[in-house]
Structure 1
Amino acid sequence: MPLLSLAGPGIGHTWNAYPEAGKLAFRLKPGRNPAAVEQALRTLGATGLFQKFPRAQAPSPERPGSVDLRGIYQCDVPPALELDRARAVLLRTGAVEYVEPLYVRQPMYQPNDPLADSTITSLTAGQYYLKQIKAYRAWDVTRGDTTVVIGITDGGVRLTHLDIAPQIKHNYADPIDGIDNDDDGYVDNFTGWDLANNDNDAGYDIGIVHGSLVSGVAIARPGNGIGLAGVGHNTKFMPLNIYPNTPTGTFAGIEAIVYAADHGCKVIVMAWGAVGGYSRLEQDAITYAAVNLDAVLVAAAGNTNADLRFYPASYDHVLSVSGVNSTDAKVGAATFNYRVDLVAPGTSILTTFGYHAANGGGPADNDYTAVGGTSFAAPMVAGAAALVRHRFPTYTAAQVRAQLRQTTDDIYALPANAAFRDKLGTGRLNVLKALTQTNLREARVMSSTFAPNRLAYAPGDTLRLTVDVQNLLQPLTGVTVEVSSLSPHLLVRRGSFAIGSLATLARATNRTLPFRLAVATAGVPINTVATLRYRITAAGGYQADQFTEVLLNPDYVVLDAGDLAVTITSRGNLAYDNLQGSIGAGVSYQDGAPLLSEGGLMLATTPTRVSDRIRSSGANSRQSFFRVQQATHQQPGPRADQEARSVFQDTIPVAGSRIRSVGVRVRQRGYSWATPGRRNFVVLEYNLKNMTADTLKPLYAGIFTDWDLPNSDGGGRNVANWDSVRRLGYSYNLSQPAVYAGVQLLRGGDPSIYSINNGAPAGSPVRLADGFSPAEKFLTLSSGTARAQRTAGLPNGADVSQVVGTRLARLAPGDSITVAFAVLAAPTLTQLQAAADAATLTYATLLPSRKAEAAAGFNVFPNPTSGQLRVDLPARFGLYEVQVLNTLGQVVLRRTLNGSQVSMDLTGLAPGLYTLKALGSQATLTRAVVLR
């Protein structure tokens, strides 16, 4: 992942968005039982639960798309707790909409050295950018007003700087007296607030000058005979520190956005961020500020020189600002993408430094420096937004954003920008146009909704796309929205939406006749991001383009023909392809909460030769398997309503090497059915081929599952158990179970079961709390069905995992053998057992057999059987012997034919799946038999 640049004078660093250890945020679903969540939090050892935004305003029906922040909570969890574990426990309650870490994001600006082409050593260059963006002439139209306040969410600001101090918006309703006079929950928040350290000192005290640098660009005091003039001119600002300077402090960018909106800031600037780390919580907070409270949010697009999503700039309702130089050419390091709205100068930006305080004989509190980066393009746009808000006081935040977008100067005619067409927004900021042009038009797609609603779409999928369009400026007639695909892999089947007339702020939707799209059936590269373009036209020559993205051909498929939905990856994992639970759709039953936090295939021959992609230690997983053939999806398939196929393998060990893999190629198949009686299971079949020069004896294969199953109140006390008759390992919640789930061995050798208490004490044979070693994985696969490993979680319930596997006596070089499992879920144990019986019988029908017309008269009954079996045979084919073979292909019973019927007694055999084979001089007939 590309890194974000961060540098102070003479100092260089690189940063990414990263989650803060020991803290979680989640949002309750409206009207759901919070008691279930409280029980789940106790299971996780969570403490310090609090409502994150208790004073947030309720959503208003007059503002479509507004959000309710009052359902968001934060808590402390043990620092070693894995996020995927916490997410699974909370989501399975069914009362939680999402669970996330709290992301830490960093300020941005380019290194202050000549090679970065973003700094100057002399202050004589002055504020060239004011002329470039037409600020001087704009101030002849309006110089803004002190009633418009910009919330600057950043590092601490030098509050005593001579060009900054006069511009601070003080809260005279809460003077410094130790009392919360305005009853807003903050004591003495007279001069902004330090959200990171939860105190009233938002000043410069942590060694980060970024807040002072950003502030100067937006609000430096004009007309005082010293220093600079900020773009916002008479606009005031509220300093909001977001970076910690105490042991208990935490990054608080999103909290600062909500605070700024709640406290009347009509413009909020975010000159910080990082690549990736999309967060529903952050989007909710931004939607609250922009839609609920009508604030204009402006963010730096980042300094990555890449086409990628950068947050918070890439969130909905945010003006994303990238950077150009003094000639309007893109700054070399500036991010570019379809989410950028406009650009502003971002090199050699002279601004307030705020590094030196006035002291005896030292420099005065009015130091300045030149810096570069999108961090300083963003506050220019924020200052302009403040002027627009004063010039057009009735405009909504969305209209202000539209006004700024529609009044930029075109920059795409420059050869330097030709490669970035449509990825630098509408052009470069022009403040004069933004304040003077009124006969402007902009209709915009405000939201896009895909159905079915998935994270990604597979080849051959069809989908519907509904859009919500709003006219933000002058009335329009003859409005039409056309959607087209910029990717050859995503096809538009119906792409026109004729709206007609739209008054100012009117909305329209194509909900009754959505766009129709289709993913190409072949040739789609793995993890393709396809771009869709909305082209909005209207009478009089109006045209505007917007873009949205769709992920195609992910490295996993979801089998969901029945009530059980199972994600199968191309590298042997179930539910998710990573430990964070962000790649894949999980495992769920009847569209309920996720049931499986982690699962996948494990192979082993010795304690040191183990192959898997299951957790190892810390937040890591082993990476033994690599993709040979991507998982593909077929619906319907030749044997089931849905089928999946993929091929993967591990590294082939070489004599004398330190490689500790098994050396097997795996052909994986998955089957799902929509028919009654088959809706509660998915069959997984693995054909294992020995790729080494040695016989693998024995070879162990099994499925690891870390189930997190709810009860009717959402609690988390699970138990793992074993049904030896059905070779079924299953889990359930000890108190009022809502769903049972498990894995059944359908085909293979001797079964094995190992149930694990994840929180077992130190010294236990298997203890997942300190990792899952190869030796522990081998133990779980090779322990057979010893009673000591059959159950876990009793008597009080616990966090449990399970390994259901099989022992294959030998696999010669180049030979193959097939093992098969069923993944099952049902509301009760009786129904789960019925599903296991149905899975056994269903899988039996998948085994090769002659066509029905060729085997007329060949009948085997009863099937399934409790022991006694009658076989009717056709007279032709010269049949002379009937054999019964186990899943290893070994003959366990045979009878010589003396007529067209034979009776066989299977009572002495172990329950399971067998193959009945009738041998003849002209043909061999086979039939699957299930022994109960």
Structure 2
Amino acid sequence: MTNILRLFIFLFLVGLTVPGTAAATPPTIPGRLVLKLRPGKAPAALDAVLRSLGAGALQQKFPRALPPSPERPGSVELRGIYQVQLPATVTLEWARAALLGTGAVEYVEPLYIREPLYQPNDPLADSTLTDITTSQFYLKQIKAYRAWDITRGDSSLVIGITDGGPRLTHEDLRQQVKHNYADPINGLDDDNDGYIDNFTGWDLANNDNDAGYDPTIVHGSLVAGVAAARADNGLGLAGLGNRCRFMPLSIYPNTPTGVFAGYEAVVYAADHGCQVINLSWGAAGGYSRFEQDAINYAALNRDAVVVAAAGNTNADLLFYPASYDHVISVSGVQSTDQKSPNGTFSHRVDMVAPGISIVTTYGVRDNDYIAVGGTSFAAPLVSAAAALVRRVFPQYNSDQVAAQLRQTTDNIDNLPANAQWVGRLGTGRLNVLKALSRTNLQEARVVTSTFAPQRVAYTPGDTIRLTTDVQNLLQPVAGLTVTLTSLSPYVTVRQGSFAVGSLATLGRARNAAAPFRLAVAASGIPLNTTATLRYRLTATGGFQYDQYVDLQLNPDYVVLDANDLALTLTSRGNLAYDDLTGRVGAGLTYRGSSNILSEGGLLLATSPTRVSDRLRTSGGQSRQSFFSLAQATRQQPGPRATQEARVVFQDTVPVAGRPARSVGVRVRQRAYAWATAGRRDFVLLEYSLRNLTADTLKPLYAGIFADWDLPNSDGAARNVATWDSTRALGYVYAVGQTAPQPLPSAYTGIRLLRGGTPAVYSINNGAPAGAPVRLADGFSPAEKFLTLSSGTARVQRTAGLPNGADVSQVVGTRVARLAPGDSTTVTFAVLVAPTLAQLQTSADAAAAAYAVLLPARAGAAVAGFNVFPNPAAGHLRVELPAKFGPCSLWLTNALGQAVLKQTTAGAAADFDLTGLAPGLYVLRAQGADEALVRNVVVR
């Protein structure tokens, strides 16, 4: 087997990207988090939290980073960024809540692993391999030979190649490596930069000075050759950078302790003099503020041009790092300038370059070459071109270099073969000659877009203000105007013109005094729609440039935020978020807090194998029992509350003769929130459950699972879950309340307001192997059934004592039977308060609020259950169904307080109402298997 064939097979097995299958979330480094301290906060502010989490010591990621400068707007502070290692038992959600709860942390994120971008064509079928001297067709395509007549670069211009370790002994690479002569190999940190013997780049992934050849990933050799292979040496090929050098920076681990380090390499490259940094790697999705910070530092603090491959997805999507601000996003084209078959296309792509049959240094031996393809090899062409532009225009900053490259491309939108991608391949295909020779160019650009109100997604009927910052990057412009247009039928631009006027080079303007105004359509918007807005910048002399910004519309969830508690409801039964990663939804917050509910949602069950939910299961996945029948909608004001929500969903109806895995119920969910005093700490959730099966469900269990994350006063997330039997209230609180004032969200709870027999199950999320419910290895249907069906036995009422733990809780009810076609209603209150007393008061107020709602809610008549006279004065007679059996009877007032109580073994009972204040009361008959509820008006 030839070496070329071996490489092709290796690349296919390791990295071939299948069109349209890019992952929405890239993989992460297990147990490792990155966080950024708020200005003025010290690492010591997190000591108590880190101890409670069992975390390792904080490690400052960039202690020698250049501080931000007022002369460089947008430059960032990296010295406040730290990483920390967590035990395997601690989840990201738990740690994030605990750390954000201190108030000292700006963000907490996982560290993503960004993959190299392979998309090789078939090297054995490539006839150009027979003559290497003529196979670099792309040099003619991008006018490189004529560009070299203007400049061939300079050895002082360094391109940072952040990738796998390249073969530094290759005949076409060894003379192109940038060495650090200030730190020779002698075991000392001669240049005092924190790295010992970093003479030849650095291996950021494994933290050593061996950034050279890694046989497990040849990608770095391939990329380095495209950008910087030695020219005029009579051997192999010529890299576009010609005389420019490259710095090898290895980012992929080859030791047991190594980790992906792409963004650490970006910062290293910027700090060590790389004027251009190439990133031929990435993944779809997974936006990260940490990653954007690292990019901003390189581009703004250190003035480096950052170039990234747009990805091999053949899809219109955001691909990171290419889609970050201050990155030149490069997709690929063929020799005919038609888009590469697998190149990503989007409004975020800046330009394209050849990306098919790119002959470059192979690196398995010291004198081998190969033809490869993909945006991984289009990007280093643009990186090399950026280095040449820096040689000709040394006065340009990094953003100006990017503008020069964008404004000198050859337009390929007019090619019939590219008709379907017009406007999504950037300004065109790289032309190095024009980039080095054109001087009278203009490019004004929108550099920031700020929406108000700022939301993840906007709902039908919303109105929005949009403020933009505009900067002129190249020659002065006059008569500059920014016109905003909606490319979506679901967004109307009501005010879309910004007359900027004249701007000098690097001048800026902002439309804060008269922002753009937008209106979202009131109806007809498909779920989870992306609406694209276009900025068209025009100026005197014919300048025109388009940019785009996206809005997310009509999300598959609503947020009730009328009071102090803001709660997300999804259209498929979940609370807080619609996914386990916390990206879809706004969580649950209280009085401006960070999210305090990492996961929540409805649970239904009839047996250990018939369970329906959309909660976690095993392997980091969630069950998908429920599907939406009608989108979640919000009314404000609602007919009965300040805000009301409506959701309709169901699970799969079991098929006769097949094992049943779901319950077979349609759910109509209503939710209520009030802005009035006394009702600001709760949201009511009412579920009407209809049996869609041909069998009686006996019994039917329904409940709410809630994984609460409450930080305490010293920032630690140590919680206890317990049960208030008087109120049928399961609640969670943060231990260690040592602050003079209680935290805003120190207590949370779920109260059962209506349904059958109450149930509660408190869970220690870190329970050891052998525990009845152990979330560390998932949450199985059998475990979910156990939490719903165990009633209120003392053994599972409490979790987390005495010192607090990561806890969850299920609060539910048991409905004795539900016949085919019949419905029943269960209702819960979601509560948050600073103290237990306030939580209990709010729980009583929730019961009173729901009692007021009940008269307006049609209830199913129960044969034999009669309460009369009603309205009543002095005396009340209660008749119970013949088969109801012994029961307890309560009469509760508007505050949810029991004012009368008795037990009966017969079919009837009498209450003496003498002395009761006039008003609305609730009568509750609690039997062994079910409960009956009726409103009573006392005169």
For the criterion TM > 0.5, the same-fold answer is yes
Contact 2:635 2:643 in 1 (8 A): yes
- Cα deviation, residue 896, structure 1: 12
- Cα deviation, residue 865, structure 1: 7.5
- The reply to whether residue 334 of structure 1 matches residue 343 of structure 2 is yes
- Cα deviation, residue 664, structure 1: 0.8
Which residue does the alignment assign to 1:615?
616
- The reply to whether residue 354 of structure 1 matches residue 363 of structure 2 is yes
Alignment partner of 1:170 out of 165, 170, 179:
179
**How far apart, in 1, do the equivalents of 2:327 and 2:600 lie?**
38
- Cα deviation, residue 734, structure 1: 0.8
- Would the alpha carbon gap of residues 656 and 797 (structure 1) be closer, same or farther in structure 2, given more than 3 Å must change? same
Q: Structure 1 stretch 262-271 or stretch 773-782: which is displaced more?
A: 773-782
Which residue does the alignment assign to 1:232?
241
**How far apart, in 2, do the equivalents of 1:740 and 1:891 lie?**
41
**How far apart, in 2, do the equivalents of 1:486 and 1:107 lie?**
34
Which residue does the alignment assign to 1:415?
416
Counting only pairs closer than 5 Å after superposition, residues 902-913 of structure 1 correspond to structure 2 as none
Residue type at the aligned position of 1:769: A
Contact 1:611 1:650 in 2 (8 A): yes
**How far apart, in 2, do the equivalents of 1:411 and 1:225 lie?**
34
**How far apart, in 1, do the equivalents of 2:675 and 2:383 lie?**
55
Contact 2:852 2:920 in 1 (8 A): no
- Cα deviation, residue 762, structure 1: 3.0
- Would the alpha carbon gap of residues 463 and 927 (structure 1) be closer, same or farther in structure 2, given more than 3 Å must change? farther
Which residue does the alignment assign to 1:503?
504
Which residue does the alignment assign to 2:223?
214
Which residue does the alignment assign to 2:273?
264
Deviation per CA, 1:338-382: give whole Å up to 9, x if none. 1111111112222222221xxxxxxxx332222221111111111
- Would the alpha carbon gap of residues 133 and 815 (structure 1) be closer, same or farther in structure 2, given more than 3 Å must change? same
- Cα deviation, residue 7, structure 1: 9.9
Residue type at the aligned position of 1:728: L
Alignment partner of 1:765 out of 761, 772, 775:
772
- Would the alpha carbon gap of residues 850 and 471 (structure 1) be closer, same or farther in structure 2, given more than 3 Å must change? closer
**How far apart, in 1, do the equivalents of 2:475 and 2:394 lie?**
16
Identity of aligned residues (%): 68
- Cα deviation, residue 162, structure 1: 2.1
- The reply to whether residue 812 of structure 1 matches residue 826 of structure 2 is no
Name the SS for the 2:252 alignment partner: coil
Deviation per CA, 1:194-238: give whole Å up to 9, x if none. 111111111113332221111111112222222222212221111
- Would the alpha carbon gap of residues 437 and 893 (structure 1) be closer, same or farther in structure 2, given more than 3 Å must change? farther
Residue type at the aligned position of 1:113: D
- Cα deviation, residue 59, structure 1: 1.3
- What TM-score does the superposition give when structure 1 sets the normalisation length? 0.90
Q: Structure 1 stretch 211-220 or stretch 222-231: which is displaced more?
A: 222-231
- Would the alpha carbon gap of residues 867 and 229 (structure 1) be closer, same or farther in structure 2, given more than 3 Å must change? closer
- The reply to whether residue 779 of structure 1 matches residue 786 of structure 2 is yes
Which residue does the alignment assign to 1:707?
708
Counting only pairs closer than 5 Å after superposition, residues 377-456 of structure 1 correspond to structure 2 as 377-456=378-457
**How far apart, in 1, do the equivalents of 2:898 and 2:143 lie?**
91
Contact 1:118 1:373 in 2 (8 A): no
Which residue does the alignment assign to 1:30?
39
Residue type at the aligned position of 2:274: C
- The reply to whether residue 841 of structure 1 matches residue 848 of structure 2 is yes
- Would the alpha carbon gap of residues 382 and 673 (structure 1) be closer, same or farther in structure 2, given more than 3 Å must change? same
- Cα deviation, residue 10, structure 1: 3.5
Contact 1:66 1:291 in 2 (8 A): yes
Q: Structure 1 stretch 77-86 or stretch 57-66: which is displaced more?
A: 77-86
Residue type at the aligned position of 1:267: V
**How far apart, in 2, do the equivalents of 1:410 and 1:928 lie?**
81
Deviation per CA, 1:545-580: give whole Å up to 9, x if none. 001111111111111111111111111111111112
- What TM-score does the superposition give when structure 2 sets the normalisation length? 0.89
**How far apart, in 1, do the equivalents of 2:898 and 2:615 lie?**
39
**How far apart, in 2, do the equivalents of 1:584 and 1:717 lie?**
25
- Would the alpha carbon gap of residues 177 and 611 (structure 1) be closer, same or farther in structure 2, given more than 3 Å must change? same
- Cα deviation, residue 418, structure 1: 1.3
Alignment partner of 2:195 out of 186, 192, 202:
186
Counting only pairs closer than 5 Å after superposition, residues 669-688 of structure 1 correspond to structure 2 as 669-688=670-689
Alignment partner of 2:295 out of 271, 286, 295:
286
- Please list every run of 5 or more consecutive structure 2 residues that lacks an aligned counterpart in the other structure: 18-22, 859-869, 874-891
**How far apart, in 1, do the equivalents of 2:909 and 2:676 lie?**
34
Which residue does the alignment assign to 2:750?
743
- Would the alpha carbon gap of residues 812 and 374 (structure 1) be closer, same or farther in structure 2, given more than 3 Å must change? same
Residue type at the aligned position of 1:182: D
Deviation per CA, 1:700-748: give whole Å up to 9, x if none. 1111111110112211211112222222211111111622111111111
Residue type at the aligned position of 1:223: D
Alignment partner of 2:99 out of 81, 87, 90:
90
- Please list every run of 5 or more consecutive structure 1 residues that lacks an aligned counterpart in the other structure: 1-5, 357-364, 852-856, 870-883, 918-925
Contact 1:726 1:744 in 2 (8 A): yes
Counting only pairs closer than 5 Å after superposition, residues 857-868 of structure 1 correspond to structure 2 as 863-864=894-895
Name the SS for the 1:10 alignment partner: helix
**How far apart, in 2, do the equivalents of 1:36 and 1:618 lie?**
34
**How far apart, in 2, do the equivalents of 1:114 and 1:212 lie?**
17
- The reply to whether residue 10 of structure 1 matches residue 9 of structure 2 is yes
Contact 2:845 2:894 in 1 (8 A): no
- Would the alpha carbon gap of residues 894 and 485 (structure 1) be closer, same or farther in structure 2, given more than 3 Å must change? farther
Deviation per CA, 1:67-124: give whole Å up to 9, x if none. 2112221122234544333333333333333222222222223234169989855425
Contact 1:479 1:536 in 2 (8 A): yes
- Would the alpha carbon gap of residues 794 and 565 (structure 1) be closer, same or farther in structure 2, given more than 3 Å must change? same
Which residue does the alignment assign to 1:638?
639
Deviation per CA, 1:117-157: give whole Å up to 9, x if none. 89855425332211211111112222222221111111111
Residue type at the aligned position of 1:52: K
Name the SS for the 2:299 alignment partner: helix
Residue type at the aligned position of 2:188: I
Contact 2:97 2:717 in 1 (8 A): no
Residue type at the aligned position of 1:807: R
**How far apart, in 2, do the equivalents of 1:325 and 1:231 lie?**
17
**How far apart, in 2, do the equivalents of 1:487 and 1:118 lie?**
46
Name the SS for the 1:756 alignment partner: strand
**How far apart, in 1, do the equivalents of 2:465 and 2:773 lie?**
48
Deviation per CA, 1:671-706: give whole Å up to 9, x if none. 122222211111111000011111112211111111
Contact 1:290 1:317 in 2 (8 A): yes
- Cα deviation, residue 862, structure 1: 6.8
Name the SS for the 1:845 alignment partner: helix
Q: For this pair of structures, how many residues does the alignment match?
A: 884
Name the SS for the 2:492 alignment partner: strand
Which residue does the alignment assign to 1:254?
263
- Cα deviation, residue 914, structure 1: 8.4
Which residue does the alignment assign to 2:867?
none
**How far apart, in 1, do the equivalents of 2:558 and 2:320 lie?**
28
Deviation per CA, 1:41-76: give whole Å up to 9, x if none. 333332253111111111112111112112221122
Which residue does the alignment assign to 1:921?
none
Name the SS for the 1:606 alignment partner: coil
Alignment partner of 1:144 out of 127, 149, 153:
153
- Cα deviation, residue 239, structure 1: 0.8
- The reply to whether residue 111 of structure 1 matches residue 105 of structure 2 is no
Which residue does the alignment assign to 1:523?
524
- Cα deviation, residue 40, structure 1: 2.8
**How far apart, in 1, do the equivalents of 2:116 and 2:210 lie?**
19
- Cα deviation, residue 291, structure 1: 1.1
Name the SS for the 2:855 alignment partner: coil
Counting only pairs closer than 5 Å after superposition, residues 720-731 of structure 1 correspond to structure 2 as 720-731=721-732
**How far apart, in 1, do the equivalents of 2:918 and 2:169 lie?**
101
Contact 2:757 2:926 in 1 (8 A): no
**How far apart, in 1, do the equivalents of 2:918 and 2:204 lie?**
83
- Cα deviation, residue 863, structure 1: 4.1
Which residue does the alignment assign to 2:861?
none
Alignment partner of 1:343 out of 341, 352, 367:
352
Which residue does the alignment assign to 2:888?
none
